Chains A and B, each alone.
Chain A
Amino acid sequence: MTSTQKKVLLRVDPEKHAVFVQQGLVVHGFILNPWPDTDAEIEAQAFAQVPLVDDDVSRLPTPDNIRREATEL
């Protein structure tokens, strides 16, 4: 059996050349060096670092779709 987990680009830190990608349970952090020139290249290189366990590399949901402000109590 293989994963059907989507990859989500969670966070990009140009200053530290760091990217964080979530796939299912796990968040992977990577340093990209040299730092890519475009957002598309950043995403492509970040996703390329994440282990592939099936052919489904679609980026769903997008970070904006899952971003929330926490309710304060």
Chain B
Amino acid sequence: MRRTLLIWLALAAAALAAFALALASGSVRLPPLDLLHALVSPGDGIAGEIVTRLRLPRALAAFAVGGLLALAGALMQVLLRNPLADPYVLGLSGGAAAGALGAMFAGLGLLAVNLGASVGAFVAMALVFAFARRDFARQQVHGALDASPRLLLTGVIMAAGWGALITLTLTLAPEARLRGMLFWLMGDLNGVESWAPALITLALALALMLPAARDLNVLLRGEALAHALGVRVAPLRRRIYLVASVATALAVTTAGAIGFVGLVVPHALRLALGNDQRMLLPASALAGGTLLLLADTAARSLIAPQQLPVGVITALIGVPAFLFLLTRKPGRIA
């Protein structure tokens, strides 16, 4: 309990530091005093304008999206009881990408692209839910005690279908729109204006899942065992799926399909800090937000004024960090 609070405090402090860095860096560098001044009285001067109009909304969006992805990843890993699960494993990002790319293909504006992405995400979510509804509804077991493998297969096959649709769109798309499409697929926070829906969804998702966090610990050991320990398994699994899906849909609609955050952050925290979901869910949200915020700051300042897709940065940070954690010797747990 005490240890958990300390972990949360440390991660929150890291998040604050990442915010300060994100607001101060860019093509116009702001020393700490100027940054403070710009935040306190944004009305005067160009610095205030840059910080509150450009950098703060983008930083908030990056934090919220990173938090949503890491939280959704942690939840999907519990739902599917599979370490390879991430927010996109059930085809949500595929649906969103198909919607967004379709809108781009038709030459529609940003609003329509965002709308296309959310419609696509929710269609994908509804399809998986419909096809796997028996796995979500059943109170009883038939044969194998675990419903998860079939749900996973349903999602994977849906993702494959969306993938084909995306490739088709890319093949047929006019040359001039390809770059925008590729950036969307890699995930990109450039030009993001609306951070509030993502941040509110993050808070709601945490509020919905935290009361059930100890149930998740039990569910992770198996559905039959969870049932025997008094967990209402079917409603809990539906709740996890819906919260993780909506979180992913909001993240993808806001910033495209940013990879690695949802897979790597929950795992890294698990390996480093343990697997108690009560600690892990808020910690994932904080660490995921911080990671994406730092990655986005790097993406827009490394070769400023040109911008890199943030998905490339998360992958470049995520892969070696994860490999390092994986190859550490396992054994005792803190």
- The answer to whether A and B assemble together is no
Which residues in B have some Cβ–Cβ distance to A below 8 Å?
A: none
